[in-house]
Amino acid sequence: MTSDNLSLAERKRLLVATELTEAALQLLARRGFDAVTVDEIVAEAGVSKRTFFRYFASKEDVIVQFLSGMGTEIHAALAERPADEPPSASLRHAVAVPLAACTLDTPEHAARALRVVQLILRTPALLGRLLERQAEWRETLATELARRQGLDAATDLYPRLAAGTALVAFHTALQRWADSEAAEDPLLLLDRAFGVVRPALDAQDR
């Protein structure tokens, strides 16, 4: 459903959720996950504690929902690619979506995105959540790849291997970008990673 199809109440709810998520992510990124309480998040966002728990079960759930949204975007991007496009190109485009979002708009936006990515990658509990989500993304991407190529996701090895390989390339580029303090371009890093794995992804013998 697009924003044009949403009711006024639904648009307001989406706006509140978006603003609350951004406030929570930025506070967690600045102060550290363990140092921040829900009370501090709601004070930062200017909402009540009741409003917070209407959207999230806990402060960790902010991250979980953020990552779930990222996975939805990746899957949607793959599903929209041309049917005759090489798998490596389709997968590269799909996993590039969240990386591209890190550098959009302004330097201030990029700096905020970097802090959030570093928070997730450098907090063991949140890194575990990211890896859990990536395992889920692998299954949805594998199902989509199988559909696109007329394969059986349950029995053919290729869809899961290809999806997993693309996500490893994504994670490697994301980690390198975070470690470089955004000195390196995440999309160029992704291109380099896909340059390594492209022959396997596009191999005819499957």
Q: Are residues 46 and 103 in the same domain?
A: no
Report the CATH number at residue 126. Answer: 1.10.357.10
Mean pLDDT value of segment 168-183: 96
Q: Are residues 133 and 184 in the same domain?
A: yes
Min mean pLDDT across 13-17, 61-65, 77-81, 165-169 is at 13-17
In sequence order, the 6+-apart residues with CB closer than 8 A to the CB of 132 are: none
For the chain, give the percent of residues with pLDDT over 90: 80
At residue 4, the pLDDT reads: 57
Of 114, 109, 95, the closest CA to residue 190 belongs to: 95
Q: Provide the domain count of the chain.
A: 2
Q: Amino acid letter at 41?
A: I
Tens of pLDDT along 39-76?
A: 999 999 899 999 999 999 999 999 999 999 999 999 99
Report the CATH number at residue 24. Answer: 1.10.10.60
Q: Are residues 34 and 67 in the same domain?
A: no
SS3 192: helix
Q: Are residues 137 and 184 in the same domain?
A: yes
> CA 144, CA 197: separation in Å to the nearest integer?
19
Q: Are residues 108 and 73 in the same domain?
A: yes
Q: Domain for residue 193, yes or no?
A: yes
Tens of pLDDT along 109-145?
A: 889 899 999 999 999 999 999 999 999 999 999 999 9
Average confidence score pLDDT of the chain? 92
Mean pLDDT value of segment 178-199: 96
Of 29, 25, 28, the closest CA to residue 17 belongs to: 25
Q: Which domain holds residue 15?
A: 7-56
For the chain, give the percent of residues with pLDDT over 70: 95
Q: Are residues 114 and 25 in the same domain?
A: no
Tens of pLDDT along 99-112?
A: 998 887 778 888 98
> CA 192, CA 165: separation in Å to the nearest integer?
14
Q: Domain for residue 47, yes or no?
A: yes
Higher pLDDT, 149 or 2: 149
